[in-house]
Amino acid sequence: MELFIVFLLGIMLGVVGLFIFRPSLLVKSTQDFSLLEDLAEELMGQIEQKEAELDAKYDEIMAAVNQSEQRLLKLSDDIVKALKSGNLSSPKVKAVLELKEQGCDEMTIAKRLGMGVGEVQLILSLNDSIST
């Protein structure tokens, strides 16, 4: 029986010693996520900054597209008016139609006249729609 008491005291001393030298066993450890939170906030800031930059670029591109669209609409109206009135006073229109009559394709006409292929196509398609 004495050995049993000594044995129990030894185990109890071991358990108490373990908790004295390793108090973290009694307390549930809390993990520190402050570094992770700071990193997440920094990344969110960078994402918002990039989003603002992309929005600004998108607005610039859309303004350029709208400006080009307005120029093309005005050009289209001018060409239609000239073709309807029979007054082909525009040297561009005359040159495009003359080169087309000579058998040149759209790319060749655009290169020779220093125009865009789309502009040449527009003139030719408007001329075709008015002719028919």
pLDDT tens column, 37-93:
889 999 999 999 999 999 999 999 999 999 999 988 888 887 777 667 665 557 888
Both tokens of 86, joined, read 């029979």
Q: Which domain holds residue 43?
A: 39-131
Query: How does 14-27 read in b/e, with b if 16+ C-beta sit within 10 Å?
Result: eeeeeeeeeeeeee
Please, which pLDDT band fits residue 27 given cuts at 50, 70 and 90?
A: low
Both tokens of 131, joined, read 């002719």
Please, which pLDDT band fits residue 28 given cuts at 50, 70 and 90?
A: low
- Report the chain's mean pLDDT, rounded to a whole number: 83
pTM of the model: 0.40
- pLDDT at site 61: 95
The C-alpha atoms of residue 50 and residue 58 are separated, in whole angstroms, by 12
On whether residue 30 sits in a domain, the answer given is no
- pLDDT at site 51: 95
Which residues have CB under 8 Å from 130's CB, separation 6+? 80, 83, 84
Q: What is the number of domains present in the chain? A: 1
Percent over 90 (pLDDT), the chain: 26
- pLDDT at site 10: 87
CA angle 107, 61, 121 (to 5 degrees): 20
Number of Cβ atoms within 10 Å of the Cβ of 9: 10
